[in-house]
Chain A
Amino acid sequence: MATATPQRPQGQSMPTPQPTLGESLRRNGVSRRGFLKLCAATASLMALPPSMAPAIAAALESARRPSVIWLSFQECTGCTESLTRSFSPTVENLILDTISLDYHHTLQAAAGDAAEHAREEAMHANAGQYLVVVDGSLPGPRANPGYSTIAGISNYDMLMETVADAAAVIAVGSCAAFGGLPKADPNPSGAVAVQDLVKDKPVINVSGCPPLPMVITGVLAQYLTFGKLPELDEYNRPLAFFGQSIHDRCYRRPFYDKGLFAETFDDEGAKKGWCLYRLGCKGPMTYNACATMKWNGGVSWPVEAGAPCLGCSEPDFWDAGGFYDALSVPPGNSGDMLLAAGAAGVAVGAGAGLLARSKTKSAAKQHQTVTAAELEQKL
């Protein structure tokens, strides 16, 4: 990782007062042009227009490194994998090095008592100011705590103790945000999401399985830069990244509007890159930034690789029917309208995504799904 500020050994208390980000960058020989470049790239990272760069520069100049405690519960470490697989060293790393990551099972060198001691120390030293990042769901208060413990402490106790003095909680990944795979039917461990338990602190959900690395770091960067929490959607996700559906930002969208669909994974339509709606793409009901930020440093993303979107950033995506079944088609006129839009080549714009989203909720309850063949008959 790039080292923008001197690394502090784990478990030592934080030196105060800390230098601002501007000071520590200059101390490390970063020129003002370098700083301007950092701000331009940070604007991209935060999905803000480039014209925001001067405002970001002014804010970053005086920003201080927030202390971050990262708790991993019932999870697969995919979220941390995503975070660390952002290419090194990058702007993300620079920003990561400018936060003070005081506790993280996978990334910290300390183990056992020393690790838990580091967590407690960071909590005391930064009471009321530190951020808690959680990945993974956790057994709820009425579930058997034995399903997931760390150092003999139940996940529930550790979360509630750690968030007590936190400024805010960031739930990273669909498990922490919505319960995810552990909560999938029949939910043997009684898994719940962070927002089901934390009611007296702001909770920001950064969903996805895993979330885009740029989105995880972008949310942290936004807090670091502006010192406040971002604007959120109805699921408490930052609007900057989750404000638009995959469908509305998809480069294959023009084919949907023309009614051109791939019917199988190897037909002419698939080869020509037509819309994957009939192959089960959940893009119209999925809100995430994959279509523009893409994966692996902007190389590609599932739809570009010819795979329909699984909808991994939406609540209960695991129980929402087959990944390769076309979206649930709700009864009623509006559902027919959506189908007609595809068939007749009517450009319905953002409306289709919103419509699909609201209708999918009711459809999910009734669990009425269609196969590509049935859809074909309706069309």
Chain B
Amino acid sequence: MASIGDIPVKVEGEPAAPAEYGNALPVLSQVRHALAQLTQGGEPTQIDLGAMPFGPGDEDRLMALLGQGEVTASVDALGRTRIQETAYSGVWVVEYLNTDDQRVALHLEIDTVPRLLRSQPEDLSDALAALNTLLAASLDQA
């Protein structure tokens, strides 16, 4: 199915510079509180940016303020999930995409490692069982 981005739009004249709506800084302040909480008690926080009343340009401004860190990761499960560490250690941008690469959710995670990157506990026992099976089969052949 064609996406809305496929519709050709012609803009005449110079587009006006986006106005300053001032909705990025309060979120940054929320991030600061969450990071302080992580530092003190180790409690992680997720912030759903989709629930924020952002005007045009607010999200870009927030992302510019957060900057880019050392780690970039991609998870391929039910479509891609892009994970980017920001310039502030412990603050991660997690963008969930569907199989058509369209965004379904945008979160900030304030944690040492984003939840989605960790191995899932149920998968660990499955993996152990699978390795046991493989080794047993290999030993039988040897």
Contact = CB atoms under 8 A, between A and B. Distances in A.
Contact of B75 (A37, A250, A273): A37
Contact of A296 (B4, B21, B58): B4
Interface string A26-40: 000011111011101
A33 B120 contact: yes
Contacts of A87: 1, 3-4, 98, 100, 102
Interface in B1-49: 1, 3-4, 16, 19, 21-23, 45-48
B21 A90 contact: no
Contacts of A88: 1, 100
Nearest to A250: B53
A359 interface: no
B69 interface: no
Contact of B102 (A38, A90, A292): A90
Given A44-B104, A90-B98, A91-B104, A271 B16 contact: yes
A224 interface: no
Q: Please indicate which of the listed interface residues B48, B55, B78 has the most CB atoms of chain A within 10 Å of its own CB.
A: B78
A176 interface: no
B99 interface: yes
A218 to B, nearest CB: 12
A349 interface: no
Q: Chain A CB within 10 Å — which of B21, B47, B75, B98 has the most?
A: B98
Contacts of A110: none
B55 A252 contact: yes
Given A2-B99, A87-B100, A252-B55, A299 B4 contact: yes
B88 interface: no
A102 B120 CA distance: 35
A17 interface: no
Given A38-B78, A89-B99, A32 B21 contact: no
A293 interface: yes
Nearest to A251: B55
B96 A37 contact: yes
Contacts of B23: 251, 254
Contacts of A347: none
B51 interface: yes
B104 A41 contact: yes
A350 B122 CA distance: 45
Contacts of A2: 99
Interface stretch (A7-15, A47-55, A147-155, A331-339): A47-55
B52 A292 contact: yes
B134 interface: no
Nearest to B46: A50
Contacts of A33: 75, 77, 116, 120
B66 to A, nearest CB: 17
A105 B122 CA distance: 42
A358 B96 CA distance: 40
A40 B96 contact: yes
Interface of A: 2, 30-34, 36-38, 40-41, 43-44, 47, 49-51, 53, 87-91, 94, 249-254, 271-273, 291-293, 296-299, 304
15 contacts: A2-B99, A37-B77, A38-B78, A40-B107, A41-B96, A41-B104, A44-B104, A44-B107, A87-B102, A91-B98, A251-B53, A251-B54, A272-B19, A296-B4, A304-B56
Given A94-B78, A251-B23, A304-B55, 16 more contacts: A31-B77, A33-B75, A37-B79, A43-B48, A88-B1, A251-B53, A251-B54, A251-B58, A252-B21, A254-B22, A271-B16, A272-B19, A273-B21, A291-B53, A297-B3, A297-B4
For the complex of A and B, list the 8 residue pairs with the smallest distance between their C-beta atoms, beginning with the closest.
Answer: A251-B55, A50-B46, A34-B77, A34-B78, A32-B120, A44-B105, A33-B77, A273-B19
